[in-house]
């Protein structure tokens, strides 16, 4: 009897060892050289075929640009321009604004605009506003809405209110566009900054304080991960869980709508998470189920010269390791680039067309290699003046005054990025000519 049990034990051990070996083979990390080869194979410039649905996967953000070209309300002008350029995806800021006397101001959309919003405006009210409604009624395949909220300050009470408001917004969208095949994605702005309480010096978390961070707009130094980081994580989990519940409740009541509404969590310090710093990906994401994950991925980009794309590739694969998709996704881990841009006038090495296009070719190749559903460029009109004093100015800026996050320059000409994307859009379903 003992001999039989012993045989059975060693049999099970051998099966387990085999299964582990098999699993490790499947999940073995690729070398940098192997990743580089994959990226190179998927470059449109090297003949890789551009998907025939590329226009539904490429988009841009429109918010807070420092110039305009028509007399239309600013948000509508931008959306109409993106439509004319052939982009199927647009990302908009979706916050309720502030009352200033009798005037309601919506940050990011002030030019030629008179916002008429009710007192105690809800997200549903905002979606019904004429300006947003006009944009939603355009022929975009996907509209991404960046929505503020309690974030790291979430409480039990605020999470209940947020769930209900997200539920009502989702209900409205699913019903209003029930006869139209389109997608809305509701997401937060850069979640790691939210969890860290801002973007200043105190948000430069590290395991070692005092490390120098060199930046074009000034040197900074790292600080230790704060003692309350665990509580911050818990609050972010509570926030995202509430949003996901709100979306799911509405979907369950609108199963026949052709319109789709998803909830995404956006992270922006994925590389920090890969290096062991508590963040959205390694600390928050394992504790929630969510439809999609968005990455504002500047932390993986070489913005001062040519980029091989390897870190971007690794970051996407890393996100997938911590990602448990909601039931509606049927196991599919949809990670997309919710914000990615190249400042064409910020760094000497990227002032000319060739290196900018080479980098975009690499980033698109990463997306094609990993079947990324959306690449959302930052942005249509540049929002970053070289002189920070101009950020809050109501005036308009010229080409030379901007850092170059754009598709359209202040003089109306197309950027290097726009020209490259034009070539991809014109050659959907085939290789670049």
**Is the separation of the CB atoms in 148 and 95 below 8 Å?**
yes
Instruction: For tokens 């387990």, name the residue.
Output: 16
186 three-state secondary structure: strand
Rounded alpha-carbon distances, angstroms, from residue 408 to 63, 65, 344, 377: 13, 10, 12, 12
For 137-191, write each residue's pLDDT tens digit.
Answer: 999 999 999 999 999 999 999 999 999 999 999 999 999 999 999 999 999 999 9
Q: What is the pLDDT of residue 5?
A: 39
The answer to whether residue 98 scores a pLDDT higher than 60 is: yes
Q: What is the mean pLDDT of residues 348-372?
A: 96
Please tell me the distance from the alpha carbon of residue 67 to that of residue 111, in angstroms, as a whole number.
8
In DSSP terms, 261 is beta-bridged to: 184
**Is the separation of the CB atoms in 164 and 158 below 8 Å?**
no
Please tell me the distance from the alpha carbon of residue 322 to that of residue 279, in angstroms, as a whole number.
11
Q: What is the pLDDT of residue 216?
A: 63
142 three-state secondary structure: strand
List all residues 6 or more positions away from 35 whose beta carbon is below 8 Å from its beta carbon: 309, 310, 313, 314
Among candidate residues 417, 400, 300, 303, the one with its CA nearest the CA of residue 349: 303
Please tell me the distance from the alpha carbon of residue 342 to that of residue 242, in angstroms, as a whole number.
34
Q: What is the mean pLDDT of residues 273-280?
A: 97
Instruction: For tokens 């099966």, name the residue.
Output: 15
Please tell me the distance from the alpha carbon of residue 61 to that of residue 377, in angstroms, as a whole number.
6
2 three-state secondary structure: helix
414 three-state secondary structure: strand
Q: What is the mean pLDDT of residues 18-42?
A: 71
Give the single-character DSSP code of 46: G
The answer to whether residue 433 scores a pLDDT higher than 90 is: no
Q: What is the mean pLDDT of residues 335-355?
A: 95
- For residue 379, cis peptide bond before it (omega within 30 degrees of 0): yes
The answer to whether residue 6 scores a pLDDT higher than 80 is: no
Please tell me the distance from the alpha carbon of residue 138 to that of residue 121, in angstroms, as a whole number.
24
Instruction: For tokens 């600080």, name the residue.
Output: 223
Burial grade of 370 (CB within 10 A; 0-12, 13-18, 19 or more):
middle
42 three-state secondary structure: coil
In DSSP terms, 90 is beta-bridged to: 60, 143
List all residues 6 or more positions away from 138 whose beta carbon is below 8 Å from its beta carbon: 79, 80, 83
Task: Indicate the domain borders of the chain.
Answer: 33-426
CATH number attached to the domain at 33-426:
3.20.20.80
> What mean pLDDT is reported for the chain?
92
For 300-313, write each residue's pLDDT tens digit.
Answer: 999 889 999 999 99
265, two tokens? 């969590």
- Half-sphere exposure at residue 315, Cβ-oriented, CA atoms within 13 angstroms: 28
For 192-246, write each residue's pLDDT tens digit.
Answer: 999 999 999 899 999 999 999 877 667 889 999 999 999 999 999 999 999 999 9
For 283-306, write each residue's pLDDT tens digit.
Answer: 999 999 999 999 999 999 998 899
**Is the separation of the CB atoms in 339 and 376 below 8 Å?**
yes
- Half-sphere exposure at residue 190, Cβ-oriented, CA atoms within 13 angstroms: 16
For 123-151, write each residue's pLDDT tens digit.
Answer: 999 999 999 999 999 999 999 999 999 99
Q: How confident is the model at residue 122 (pLDDT cuts 50, 70, 90)?
A: very high
- Predicted TM-score (pTM) of the model is 0.92
Give the single-character DSSP code of 115: B
């Amino acid at each position: 009897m003992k001999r039989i049990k012993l045989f059975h034990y060693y049999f099970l051990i051998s099966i387990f060892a085999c299964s582990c070996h098999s699993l490790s083979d499947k999940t073995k990390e690729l070398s940098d050289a192997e990743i580089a080869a994959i990226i190179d194979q998927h470059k449109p410039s090297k003949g890789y075929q551009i998907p025939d649905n590329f226009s539904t996967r490429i988009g841009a953000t429109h918010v807070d640009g420092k110039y305009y070209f028509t007399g239309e309300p600013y948000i509508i002008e931008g959306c109409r321009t993106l439509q004319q350029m052939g982009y199927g995806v647009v990302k908009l800021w979706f916050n309720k604004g502030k009352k200033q006397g009798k005037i309601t101001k919506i940050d990011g959309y002030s030019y030629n605009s008179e916002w008429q919003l009710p007192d105690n405006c809800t997200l549903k009210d905002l979606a019904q506003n004429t300006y947003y409604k006009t944009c939603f009624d355009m022929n975009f395949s996907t509209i991404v809405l960046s929505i503020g909220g309690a974030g790291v300050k979430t409480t039990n009470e605020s999470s209940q209110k947020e769930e209900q408001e997200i539920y009502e917004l989702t209900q409205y969208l699913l019903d209003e566009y029930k006869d139209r095949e389109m997608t809305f994605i509701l997401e937060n702005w850069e979640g790691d900054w939210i969890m860290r309480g801002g973007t200043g010096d105190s948000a430069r978390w590290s395991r070692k304080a005092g490390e120098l961070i060199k930046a074009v707009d000034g040197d900074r130094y790292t600080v230790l991960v704060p003692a309350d980081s665990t509580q911050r994580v818990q609050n972010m989990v509570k926030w995202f869980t509430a949003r996901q519940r709100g979306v799911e409740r509405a979907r369950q009541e609108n199963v026949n709508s052709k319109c789709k509404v998803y909830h995404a969590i956006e992270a922006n310090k994925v590389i920090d998470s890969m290096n062991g710093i508590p963040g959205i990906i390694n600390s928050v994401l394992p504790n929630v189920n969510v439809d999609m994950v968005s990455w504002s991925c500047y932390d993986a980009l070489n913005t001062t010269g040519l980029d091989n794309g390897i870190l971007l590739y690794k970051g996407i694969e890393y996100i997938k390791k911590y990602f448990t998709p909601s039931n509606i996704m049927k196991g599919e881990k949809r990670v997309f680039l919710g914000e990615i841009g190249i400042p064409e006038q910020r760094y000497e090495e990227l002032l000319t067309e060739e290196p900018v296009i080479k980098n975009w070719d690499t980033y698109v190749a990463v997306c094609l290699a990993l079947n990324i559903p959306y690449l959302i460029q930052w942005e249509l009109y540049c929002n970053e003046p070289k002189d920070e004093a101009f950020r809050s100015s109501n005036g308009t800026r010229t080409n030379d005054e901007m850092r170059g996050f754009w598709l359209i320059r202040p003089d109306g000409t197309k950027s290097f990025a726009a020209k490259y994307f034009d070539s991809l859009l014109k050659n959907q379903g085939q290789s670049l000519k």
